[in-house]
Amino acid sequence: MKLIVCKFGGSSLADGNNILRVEKILRADPARRFAVVSAPGKRFSADVKVTDLLYGCFRAAQETGDCSAAFADVRKRFISIVSELGMESFDIQSILDETEREIDLQKSADFTASRGEYLNARIIAAKLGWQFIDAKDIIFFDENGLFDEAKSYPLIEAKLRECGNAVIPGFYGTDANGKIRTFSRGGSDISGSIIARGVNAGLYENWTDVSGFLACDPRLVECPEKIEVISFKELRELSYMGANVLHADSIFPVRRGDIPIKIKNTFQPEDAGTLILPSKKYKKHGNIVTGIAGKKDFTVIFLEKSMMNSEIGFARKVLSVLEQNAVSFEHMPSGIDTLSLVIESKNLSDGMLDRLIEQIRDAVHPDYVRVLDQIALVATVGHGMTASVGTSARLFRALSDAGINIRMIDQGSSEINIIVGIDNADYERCLRAIYYEFFKKKKAS
């Protein structure tokens, strides 16, 4: 029997009734031995996630030294969950009291934000009768704030080998100084992936509120096709470009362990979901294109200099300017005499764009500099593209027929994606045009 690690997201654990659904799922298959849980999410559209309530507690503790007023809403949520689960004998009040004291004492954003996962895991472990394993004891970060594989994996394997079943809070671990440190938002996906790798699971199930990945954003395309099977490489491209079912960084631990991921719907567990396979186990099938995704609000810094291609160190000097200003770039298309830097616009506020241009001029003396803003990037992704003649022609023809001007083209060396830069205003039409070209849906009127 293959061991399964399950991660449940915030929407799956928003209240007691949802947690009862999760209990049923876990008990339905004895191979599901380890559950990684998020903090409670929204119960309805106007609700507030527990993690956001906790950030409010941190601000109160930092500003006044007393988070009790802000913590009252957190307290109410968890008391309600315990009541809905019929766990009258579970002493949630003492756990909440201790949590509130620690938030006031530590005044740490990471510690405070992590308490949603911690409290939820304590409750769920008690409800299931499973062992609670605190993530701080098995997941570690190094002095650079990066996940410490060498320290964490042996501890995960040793600790979880001792127990039959366990619940582990997601989102956090311990830093090099012994303090609680969190991953980025949505980081419980990463925690689940790490636990799956640590116990050498046969499958990592990620339970959420959708039945897998769709080939395009359903807000832009009516009833897009569901992706039944996808490779890690394709998933990485689509997740990074905005397909937000799974945290993009959660792929790395399971990819290194060749562990498949299955995206499942807590509210429709009978649905097949989407199976994500290591690339060497993935076989091309179906459409040429697997999916289309994109993001808005990029800025392009376009540089031109004669004989740039023969100037040793040109690109390095340009990228050094970005490094010195702690600015990352998304793409760097280039020609013989041209180079473009594609950067998220939010990273160029407060005069940063002007500083970068001035420093780049000083570093490499370009003949010409031009800035394009309000640019959207749209990625068309699929292993089938590599062996299909005319894929690019079809894509560009579809955009031409839709009257969309392409400002930039970037095709990865892996040949599983083509990225186009277009004006923000054309973003929705661009996604629709590409989707209808490759998925043969009837165009919306």
pLDDT digits (tens, 9 = 90+) for 196-230: 999 999 999 999 998 888 899 888 888 899 999 98
Q: Across residues 236-245, what is the average pLDDT?
A: 76
* Chosen domain end from 160, 190, 209: 209
CATH number of 316's domain: 3.30.2130.10
Question: What would the pLDDT profile of 145-203 be if each residue is shown by its tens digit?
Answer: 999 999 999 999 999 988 899 999 999 999 999 999 999 888 899 999 999 999 999 99
More confident residue, 241 or 26: 26
Note whether 8 and 110 are same-domain residues: yes
Q: Across residues 285-298, what is the average pLDDT?
A: 88
CA-to-CA distance for 349 and 345, rounded, in angstroms?
Answer: 7
CA-to-CA distance for 264 and 314, rounded, in angstroms?
Answer: 47
Both tokens of 81, joined, read: 């969950």
Q: Across residues 12-30, what is the average pLDDT?
A: 97
- Percentage, residues of the chain above pLDDT 90: 77
More confident residue, 440 or 226: 226
- Percentage, residues of the chain above pLDDT 70: 96
pTM for the structure as a whole:
0.84
Mean pLDDT value across the chain: 92
Q: Give the pairing of strands 338-344 and 32-37.
A: unpaired
Q: Residue 416, CB half-sphere, CA atoms under 13 Å: how many? A: 17
* Chosen domain end from 193, 209, 225: 209
Cα dist. 300→59, 343, 353, 370, 421 in Å? Answer: 36, 6, 10, 8, 9
Contact present, 174 and 151 (Cβ < 8 Å): no
Question: What would the pLDDT profile of 31-81 be if each residue is shown by its tens digit?
Answer: 999 999 999 999 999 999 999 999 999 999 999 999 999 999 999 999 999
The answer to whether residue 445 scores a pLDDT higher than 50 is no
Which of the 8 DSSP states describes residue 442? P
CATH number of 16's domain: 3.40.1160.10
Give the total number of structural domains in the chain: 2
Length of the chain: 445
Question: What would the pLDDT profile of 37-47 be if each residue is shown by its tens digit?
Answer: 999 999 999 99
Angle value at C-alpha 112, between 153 and 86, nearest 5 degrees: 85
Note whether 54 and 163 are same-domain residues: yes
**What's the pLDDT at 115?**
98
More confident residue, 285 or 441: 285
Cα dist. 134→2, 267, 309 in Å? Answer: 24, 27, 54
- Whether 346 maps to a domain, the answer reads yes
- Whether 193 maps to a domain, the answer reads yes
Q: In what order do the strands lie in the sheet with 261-265?
A: 131-132, 166-169, 32-37, 4-8, 203-208, 261-265, 274-277, 229-231
| The one-letter amino acid at 346 | K
Contact present, 9 and 209 (Cβ < 8 Å): yes
Note whether 41 and 190 are same-domain residues: yes
The answer to whether residue 300 scores a pLDDT higher than 90 is yes
CA-to-CA distance for 284 and 328, rounded, in angstroms?
Answer: 33
- Whether 260 maps to a domain, the answer reads no
**What's the pLDDT at 444?**
43
Note whether 108 and 202 are same-domain residues: yes
Angle value at C-alpha 140, between 139 and 145, nearest 5 degrees: 135
Note whether 181 and 300 are same-domain residues: no
Q: Across residues 407-429, what is the average pLDDT?
A: 86
**What's the pLDDT at 288?**
87
Contact present, 345 and 298 (Cβ < 8 Å): yes
- Whether 21 maps to a domain, the answer reads yes
Contacts of 223 (CB under 8 A, 6+ apart): none
Contact present, 173 and 181 (Cβ < 8 Å): yes
User: Mean pLDDT lowest for which of 85-99, 245-259, 308-322, 431-445?
Assistant: 431-445
SS3 string of 42-67? Answer: CCCCCCCCHHHHHHHHHHHHHHHCCC
The answer to whether residue 362 scores a pLDDT higher than 80 is yes
Residue 336: give the domain boundaries. Answer: 291-439
* Chosen domain end from 161, 188, 209: 209
pLDDT-derived band at 442 (thresholds 50, 70, 90) equals very low
- Which of 123, 149, 132 is closest to 34 using CA atoms? 132
